[in-house]
Structure 1
Amino acid sequence: MVAIEVENLTKEFNGFVAVDHISFSIESGEAFGLLGPNGAGKTTTMSMLSTMLKPTSGRASVHDFDILKEQDDVRKSIGIVFQDQSLDEELTAYENMDFHGRLYRIPKNLREKKINELLKLVELEDKKDNLVKTYSGGMRRRLEIARGLLHEPRVLFLDEPTLGLDPQTRNHLWSYIDRLNKEKGITIILTTHYMEEADKLCDRIAIIDKGKIIALDTSEKLKESIGGDVIEIMSSDRDKIHSVIKAFSWVKHVDVHNGSVTINLQNAEKHVAEIVNVAYDNGIEIESISIHKPTLEDVFLYYTGRTMREEEASSKDRMRMMHKPQRR
């Protein structure tokens, strides 16, 4: 069964296209990731699917409920953990949960039972009467996930769920998310710019850049699509080595970026000596050469010609330009 269906979804802000005619579907019970740099359109996409933003064009449905025509039904069937904290710091964990349950008109007895169950699930039952302002960042995220599950949503939206958390807390939170998906069968759609997070949690990943989906598949198939191995060469003559290397038939793709040359190919070990020899014959000095299996960062580079970090920097520049005061 399809949980989410998206067709040519588009969102513009004053002429700026934040989401550009994207289409995809998510199966019920699937963990689906939107992976991309800041400013790529991930949060805008999630905001449209959760009815918080109206699309400029296109259509989408959540469990067969149209996001424009049946907004109340969509909202009843989803839970959301926002990128920015939305808890009341002057209330306890229990009070935050109870207030949320009242908004969804969950009967008192059932509400109390589910609050205690969910606080136990995220290991906060012994801190339920503590004010949220005393909580660490990781504890707050766990509480937000518990709150998002209180009305038993069929789909859980997680917008950068581990942003700003330390690696240990992030790993801890991943285990909760994975358990929710595997044991409870909840459909999860999460946005992230952490490669490892998408790799670990998602059945399929849509890589999004500048509002467009540039690749969509399982993590393994995305990596396989760019070739079996990656060779990275550091050299001051990177443009020259690029022009020499790209002539070889065994090179699937070669890119120059950020002071290095990246080559996608099969059986890298067989060709390293050939690369070194051709560099020597052409008077090219190689500073270092390394081989590794493709990562999602390599996939992003392959399809965009830029690393995720470089794209995030350019996204910040674009946002600054959009908000730059105009001289009169």
Structure 2
Amino acid sequence: MVTIRQLEVKYGSQTALRIDTPVSFEKGERIGIIGSNGAGKSTLIKALLGLIPYRGRVITNLKPEQMAVHMQFNEYVTTMSVKYIMETILDTKIAKNKELQELISFFEFESCLPKRFNALSGGQKQKFTIIMVMFQKAELTFYDEVTSGLDFETRQRLTEKLSQWYRDKEDTLVVVSHYYEELEQLASKLLILDKGRVIAFGEKQRLFRKYCGKVVLIMENNDKNRALSRNFPTLKSPEHLIALSCEDEAQEWKAMKALAENNVNFKRSNSDIEIMFMNARERFYAQQKVSSER
């Protein structure tokens, strides 16, 4: 569907994004793009959509009208209701279009139609734009920080709605997000970016196995747990946590037994994206350092 052979985006003399190893988005895939601020996530989407100049080679059989995008920030006129804005942009009447009615009902947006855009809540504004993006029925859709700025409960409800809507559809989704729990629900593949470089790309489970092991056991970072963790391999993790890496079932049971005997509360995970991201990034720069010293 889309293959990036090489791609470089510069802002002046600064390289914002550079992809040297081929990256492909195939039909029906759910791809999550993750990285710190300034990693190049939004830059990549803008380049693929032809919104900014780039050097390199991007191969695709898609026409512009077969791609849709939900950008992070969207503004509309405030002199008319969102119902008329929607009908004008989509060039259809809601009352005569069953597909649009279905989308409006699915997102429980009926009561918002008479309102003006500036009177909508943050979550309602996102729903409004999502409905119009989905109505295009594009083969490839980009969602750029679709829940940015929303409270946790609203983010969760909106993510569940997106996951439910696309569950049985063949559309290809590329979701940019810095919320790890969103990508847990929406993505099956991950493209990890940092400082404009590709850190890792592949199936979520395969990347977790590569950088974290079979499972991780996550517990609070305190003196007692730090002492216990000295007997087991640990991973890079958020400062308030300790993550034990278990490569196989025997190692997992040994670690779990030790934690249980010492009355330690812990969480078991085989998909924690935050810990995966941190360890993929650490390994990438360690390898870069070794290469530069040769």
Deviates more, 1:160-169 or 1:292-301: 292-301
- C-alpha displacement at 1:175, in angstroms? 2.5
User: Which 5+ residue runs of structure 2 have no aligned equivalent?
Assistant: 259-263, 284-294
CA 199–291 in structure 1, closer or farther in 2 if over 3 Å, else same:
closer
Q: Which residue of 1 aligns with 2:288?
A: none
Are the counterparts in 2 of residues 49 and 61 from structure 1 also a CA contact under 8 Å? no
- Structure 2 residue matching 1:305: 3-state secondary structure: helix
TM-score by length of 1: 0.70
Matches for 1:173-184 after TM superposition, within 5 Å: 173-184=158-169
Are the counterparts in 2 of residues 231 and 290 from structure 1 also a CA contact under 8 Å? yes
Aligned mates of 1:119, 1:188 — CA distance in 2: 20
Q: Which residue of 1 aligns with 2:25?
A: 26
- Amino acid of the residue matched to residue 142 of structure 2? F
CA 259–128 in structure 1, closer or farther in 2 if over 3 Å, else same:
closer
Are the counterparts in 1 of residues 4 and 57 from structure 2 also a CA contact under 8 Å? yes
The reply to whether residue 191 of structure 1 matches residue 176 of structure 2 is yes
The reply to whether residue 124 of structure 1 matches residue 124 of structure 2 is no
The reply to whether residue 47 of structure 1 matches residue 40 of structure 2 is no
- Amino acid of the residue matched to residue 42 of structure 2? T
Are the counterparts in 1 of residues 237 and 243 from structure 2 also a CA contact under 8 Å? yes
CA 183–271 in structure 1, closer or farther in 2 if over 3 Å, else same:
closer
The reply to whether residue 85 of structure 1 matches residue 74 of structure 2 is yes
Instruction: Report Cα offsets for 1:6-53 as digits up to 9, x if no partner.
Output: 222221112222111153112212221101122111100011112211
CA 260–197 in structure 1, closer or farther in 2 if over 3 Å, else same:
closer
Aligned mates of 2:148, 2:237 — CA distance in 1: 30
- Structure 2 residue matching 1:183: 3-state secondary structure: coil
Q: What is the Cα-based RMSD across aligned positions, in Å?
A: 3.3
Are the counterparts in 1 of residues 72 and 145 from structure 2 also a CA contact under 8 Å? yes
- Amino acid of the residue matched to residue 293 of structure 1? S
Q: Percent identity?
A: 22
The reply to whether residue 297 of structure 1 matches residue 282 of structure 2 is no
- Amino acid of the residue matched to residue 12 of structure 1? K
Are the counterparts in 1 of residues 237 and 275 from structure 2 also a CA contact under 8 Å? no
CA 177–268 in structure 1, closer or farther in 2 if over 3 Å, else same:
same
- Structure 1 residue matching 2:23: 3-state secondary structure: strand
- Amino acid of the residue matched to residue 219 of structure 1? K
Q: Which residue of 2 aligns with 1:320?
A: none
Larger Rg, first or second structure (1 or 2): 1
1:264 to 230, 245, 248: 245
Are the counterparts in 1 of residues 33 and 41 from structure 2 also a CA contact under 8 Å? yes
- C-alpha displacement at 1:197, in angstroms? 0.5
CA 138–109 in structure 1, closer or farther in 2 if over 3 Å, else same:
closer
The reply to whether residue 229 of structure 1 matches residue 216 of structure 2 is yes
1:220 to 202, 205, 214: 205
Number of residue pairs the alignment of both structures matches:
268
- Amino acid of the residue matched to residue 229 of structure 1? V
- C-alpha displacement at 1:201, in angstroms? 0.7
Matches for 1:1-328 after TM superposition, within 5 Å: 3-21=1-19, 23-55=22-54, 57-62=55-60, 64-65=61-62, 73-74=63-64, 76-102=65-91, 108=92, 112-113=96-97, 114-225=99-210, 226-227=212-213, 228-230=215-217, 234=222, 251=233, 255=236, 258=239, 264-266=245-247, 267-268=251-252, 270=254, 292-293=268-269, 295-305=272-282
Are the counterparts in 2 of residues 29 and 181 from structure 1 also a CA contact under 8 Å? no
Are the counterparts in 2 of residues 79 and 153 from structure 1 also a CA contact under 8 Å? yes
- C-alpha displacement at 1:162, in angstroms? 0.7
Are the counterparts in 2 of residues 6 and 24 from structure 1 also a CA contact under 8 Å? yes
CA 17–116 in structure 1, closer or farther in 2 if over 3 Å, else same:
same
- C-alpha displacement at 1:259, in angstroms? 8.1
Are the counterparts in 2 of residues 181 and 187 from structure 1 also a CA contact under 8 Å? no
TM-score by length of 2: 0.77
Aligned mates of 1:132, 1:261 — CA distance in 2: 45
- Structure 2 residue matching 1:165: 3-state secondary structure: coil
- Amino acid of the residue matched to residue 188 of structure 2? D
Aligned mates of 1:257, 1:180 — CA distance in 2: 33
User: Which 5+ residue runs of structure 1 have no aligned equivalent?
Assistant: 66-72, 103-107, 275-287, 307-328
- Amino acid of the residue matched to residue 254 of structure 2? K
Aligned mates of 1:231, 1:168 — CA distance in 2: 24
- C-alpha displacement at 1:223, in angstroms? 2.0
